[in-house]
Amino acid sequence: MAKILVVTSGKGGVGKTTSTAALGAALAHGGEKVVVIDFDVGLRNLDLVMGAERRVVFDLINVVQGDAKLSQALIRDKRMENLSLLPASQTRDKDALTEEGVARVLADLREKFDWIICDSPAGIERGATLAMRHADVAVVVTNPEVSSVRDSDRIIGLLDSKTEKAEKGERVEKHLLLTRYDPVRAERGEMLKKEDVLEILSIPLLGIIPESEEVLRASNVGAPVTFNNPDSAPGRAYFDAVRRLKGENVEMIIPSDRKGLLGKLFGRRAA
Amino acid sequence: MTIAVRTRPSLRFRGKSFLALVLAPTVPLRDWLEDVDAVSKSSPGFFDGRAIIVDVSALKPSKSELKFLLAALKMREIRIIGLEGAAAAVVDADMPAPVNGGRPAGDIEMPDFDAVPIPAAPQSQPAPVTALMIEGSVRSGQSVIHTEGDVTILGSVASGAEVVAGGSIHIYGALRGRAIAGCTGNGKARIFCSKFEAELIAIDGLYKTADDLGSKFRGQPIQVNLDGESMILKSMD
């Protein structure tokens, strides 16, 4: 049974798109059939992070409005054939999304894939509510910072009231993904600690993604960080998160890029 | 010649009782308006989107005075939906509709366009006391309004969330948002929480913001009650 997962946050710039790409790639790496959908109509970015920006012909809006077939709009990843992307339109706005259209597209995708990952736009308006509307699972991306935490809290409230599951009296499974975390700065009190965020949001923790330059590096080359450098700290953290998402019990550690003395001496193996 | 008679579905008029904020201006009006400004300044958006009734029975304004008052409130973007206690002679057609207090709501047979059924005079007709229980947490942006009695929340009230109760408010988790108790004029209402980090607390219209309260009680289990015009916070340790 296909699962629809929404990656959401309320606040912008916390790492929704990065996390969508990284989780999608990590799930696909485990052999699952995965599609990632960009719901950020008008401000699409997922195609860039996935490195597919030069192959976009049709997009989500075309499919929603019936101008293109789903198979025409889906872009298969070059590195992994069981990973696909459904891009957003850059020229339209979120009003072009209709509830029935989105429901139809998701129902079609459910037949073809194991995981449907919806990359929500920031905010709580149409794009964001439609992205979460049909979700079975939600990953709430939060930075260890007060405004991000409060916005996430708002989004959790919407997940509990405005989704299809909530309206049927069921619950959307919710997970917290704490991104851009720096344990040293958290200890110094310069950012919220993991415990504080968990206390405020009180949803289970899916993973802690450490602040790392690897994330930006991967985005710039157009590859999910779990592809580009799976052994990097964020790469490992995302792989752990995916194992937890599939129900495995994985110890919560914050992977670190910092190297010991030997690591510094033998920093990189010659090609 | 036949005349076509259009049959219309019969209209049903229903009364509904809502809770409205009542402003009762006092003389001198200038001072009172300054107080209103002070409230808007310390809590921006306090009057936004609220149904507000002006009770001018203490003022007994003439037509021009009433016009001035309404204009002054309009300038402050306070939206008035009804006038209470104004003499019929001073109310113009373009002013908010006059309301009479404490009308019981129910099916209304004859439409009475003069009166908007918005009353709620709690002292004269105490509402039956019922408690509302919220099993989880109140998330940011959510608003729990229960004017009939106490509200109990087993989880926390997040920053940016609001709980409004006619009676007391009991929060087993942390209070990080707003708690407004005794909103129907119940000065005996209290607020309890096991961790106090509130943005605003109010009982019977008297309110304090986090800024007013300082950091003395932050993070503690707290009980709040009214003693006359002062708000008393006590640690429950």
Q: What's the ipTM?
A: 0.71
Residues of B in contact with A156 (CB under 8 A): 139
User: What are the structure tokens assigned to A253, written together?
Assistant: 């550690």
Nearest CA to B213 out of B161, B173, B184, B175 is that of B175
Q: Is residue A47 part of a domain?
A: yes
For residue B185, what are the domain limits? 131-235
pLDDT tens-digit map of A14-71: 999 999 999 999 999 999 999 999 999 999 999 999 999 889 989 999 999 999 999 9
Q: Would you put residue B36 in left (φ > 0), alpha (ψ -120 to 50) or beta?
A: alpha
Tell whether B62 lies on the interface with A, counting CB pairs under 8 A.
Answer: no
How many distinct structural domains can be found in chain A? 1
- What pLDDT score was predicted for residue B44? 73
A11: annotated binding-site residue? yes
Nearest CA in chain B to A203: B137
Tell whether B183 lies on the interface with A, counting CB pairs under 8 A.
Answer: no
Give yes or no: residues B139 and B83 share one domain. no
Q: Is residue B11 part of a domain?
A: no
Instruction: Compute the average pLDDT of residues A174-183.
Output: 96
Residues of B in contact with A199 (CB under 8 A): 174
Contact B160 A202 (CB under 8 A): no
A174: annotated binding-site residue? no
| Cα–Cα dist A232/A226, whole Å | 8
| Cα–Cα dist B127/A227, whole Å | 63
For residue A128, what are the domain limits? 3-266
Give yes or no: residues B86 and B141 share one domain. no
CB burial class (10 A; 0-12, 13-18, 19+) of residue B72? middle
**DSSP string covering A149-171:** HHHHHHHHHHHTTTSHHHHTT--
Residues of B in contact with A153 (CB under 8 A): 139-141, 158-161
* DSSP tally for chain B: helices H, then strands E: 3, 15
pLDDT tens-digit map of B78-122: 888 888 887 777 888 888 887 776 544 434 333 344 444 444 444
Q: Is residue B222 part of a domain?
A: yes
A14: annotated binding-site residue? yes
pLDDT at B231 over 80: yes
- What pLDDT score was predicted for residue B122? 46
Q: What CA dihedral angle connects B195, B200, B201 and B205, to 10 degrees?
A: -170
Tell whether A202 lies on the interface with B, counting CB pairs under 8 A.
Answer: yes
Interface test with A, best of B138, B140, B178, B194 (most A CBs within 10 A): B140
pLDDT tens-digit map of A205-236: 999 999 999 999 999 999 999 999 999 999 99
Contact B160 A150 (CB under 8 A): yes
Q: Is residue A53 part of a domain?
A: yes
- The partner residue sitting opposite B158, judged by closest CB among A160, A161, A200, is A200
Mind telling me how many Å the CA of B4 is from chain A's nearest CA?
Answer: 42
- Domain of residue B167, CATH code: 2.160.20.70
How many distinct structural domains can be found in chain B? 2
Nearest CA in chain B to A152: B140
A33: annotated binding-site residue? no
Contact B140 A202 (CB under 8 A): no
Tell whether A68 lies on the interface with B, counting CB pairs under 8 A.
Answer: no
Q: Is residue B108 part of a domain?
A: no
Contact A25, A52 (CB under 8 A): no
- Domain of residue A210, CATH code: 3.40.50.300
Mind telling me how many Å the CA of A142 is from chain B's nearest CA?
Answer: 15
DSSP H helices, chain A, are 16-29, 46-49, 60-64, 70-73, 99-112, 126-133, 146-159, 164-167, 183-187, 194-201, 213-220, 225-228, 233-245, 261-265
pLDDT at A201 over 60: yes
pLDDT band, residue B34 (cuts 50/70/90) = confident
Mind telling me how many Å the CA of B178 is from chain A's nearest CA?
Answer: 14
Tell whether A162 lies on the interface with B, counting CB pairs under 8 A.
Answer: no
Interface test with B, best of A9, A172, A202 (most B CBs within 10 A): A202
- Which residues numbered 98-137 in A keep a CB inside 8 Å of some CB on B? 124
Mind telling me how many Å the CA of A208 is from chain B's nearest CA?
Answer: 22
Q: Is residue A271 part of a domain?
A: no
Contact A43, A156 (CB under 8 A): no
Contact B22, B52 (CB under 8 A): yes
Residues of A in contact with B156 (CB under 8 A): 200, 202
- Give the residue carrying structure tokens 């950012």: A191
Instruction: Compute the average pLDDT of residues B136-142.
Output: 92
pLDDT tens-digit map of B50-73: 778 888 887 788 888 888 888 888
Q: Is residue B44 part of a domain?
A: yes
Contact A157 B155 (CB under 8 A): no
pLDDT tens-digit map of A76-121: 999 999 999 999 998 888 889 999 999 999 999 999 999 999 999 9
Contact A154 B156 (CB under 8 A): no
Contact B141 A156 (CB under 8 A): no
pLDDT band, residue A267 (cuts 50/70/90) = low
Q: From start to end of B37-96, where are the E strands?
A: 52-55, 80-84
Domain boundary among B90, B106, B122: B90
Nearest CA to A161 out of B141, B146, B172 is that of B141
Q: Are strands B143-146 and A173-181 parallel, antiparallel or unpaired?
A: unpaired
| Cα–Cα dist B99/A93, whole Å | 45
Q: Is residue A83 part of a domain?
A: yes
Interface test with B, best of A145, A154, A195, A197 (most B CBs within 10 A): A154
Contact B139 A156 (CB under 8 A): yes
Contact B40, B1 (CB under 8 A): no
Nearest CA to B142 out of A16, A159, A169 is that of A159
A129: annotated binding-site residue? no
SS3 B233: strand
Mind telling me how many Å the CA of B205 is from chain A's nearest CA?
Answer: 27
Q: Is residue A197 part of a domain?
A: yes
- What pLDDT score was predicted for residue B85? 81
pLDDT at A262 over 50: yes
- Give the residue carrying structure tokens 């953290």: A237
- What pLDDT score was predicted for residue B108? 37
Q: Is residue B34 part of a domain?
A: yes
Contact B140 A153 (CB under 8 A): yes
Give yes or no: residues B135 and B230 share one domain. yes
With a pLDDT cut of 70, the percent of chain A lying above it is 94
- What pLDDT score was predicted for residue B102? 54
Give yes or no: residues B147 and B208 share one domain. yes
Residues of B in contact with A160 (CB under 8 A): 136, 139
